Structure 1
């Protein structure tokens, strides 16, 4: 198993948990982003810097992932592509994406995009995303440990 991290949108706390898990379990973990990620020196940690652009990091991950690997992402479209490759996908909030529910999540995402595009849903009326807190950190750490074991 390898871990791939969609690192551009991953909170620093989650990155730290991934690093600690990779070192403790000696699991290769690759952080993919459009900028360098500071990582401690280790044969189990790598940073791939991709070009700026829409889905460049996602496409790198999709091409690199293999059956049984784990991808850390909040991107539902990326998670769907990962599941299609028989790999696992986990959000930084500790939610494991699974084949049984990913299509409904994609449909909900597409519906919200349509609502915003047609002006029926004003992005300014939506609530701000909650701060990444202790509840998220604990849920993510537990799920990550369970999936890596």
Structure 2
């Protein structure tokens, strides 16, 4: 199965394309504002508003061999602990080997932003190259997940 943390996810269509090709059930989880897919393999899950409700829904259900798409680092950590394979929207794999460093960097950046209220975040726009990199990474992860089951 594939779980998508769908709020602000720029690659929902790509996940659906790869998931459909592999005949995988997909859960697209958000607190609203997304259009349900007519694809019978895609289940749109709308959770109540609230901090981390979508994250909790996903983390409570993923198991070994599932694939999770998220940019949320604490959610990724919980999913990895449950045996899931995790990809960020840019195609970066989050694993047992790198999640500790990623969490530490996230915490450091949160502290730096809190210390400097004028520090402006904002990343670069999501490009076609980012989309292609994600598709390639998702294909690899889906195949790896099939071997873990």
- Considering the TM-score relative to the shorter chain, is it more than 0.5? yes
Q: For residue 59 of structure 2, what is the aligned residue in structure 1?
A: 62
Q: For residue 138 of structure 1, what is the aligned residue in structure 2?
A: 132
Q: For residue 108 of structure 2, what is the aligned residue in structure 1?
A: 111
Q: 1:35 aligns with which of 32, 46, 49?
A: 32
Equivalent pair of 1:31/1:37 in contact (CA under 8 Å): no
Q: How many residues of Structure 1 are paired with residues of Structure 2 in the alignment?
A: 143
Q: For residue 9 of structure 2, what is the aligned residue in structure 1?
A: 10
Task: Quote the offset at 1:36 in angstroms.
Answer: 5.0
Task: Give the RMSD, CA atoms, in angstroms.
Answer: 1.4
**Is residue 77 from structure 1 mapped to residue 71 from structure 2 by the alignment?**
no
Q: Deviations over 1:79-127 (max 9, x none)?
A: 111110011110010001011111111111111212222x2x33x4335
More helix by share: 1
When normalised by structure 2's length, the TM-score is 0.90
When normalised by structure 1's length, the TM-score is 0.90
Equivalent pair of 1:36/1:47 in contact (CA under 8 Å): no
Q: Deviating runs (4+, > 2 A) in structure 1?
A: 36-43, 124-128
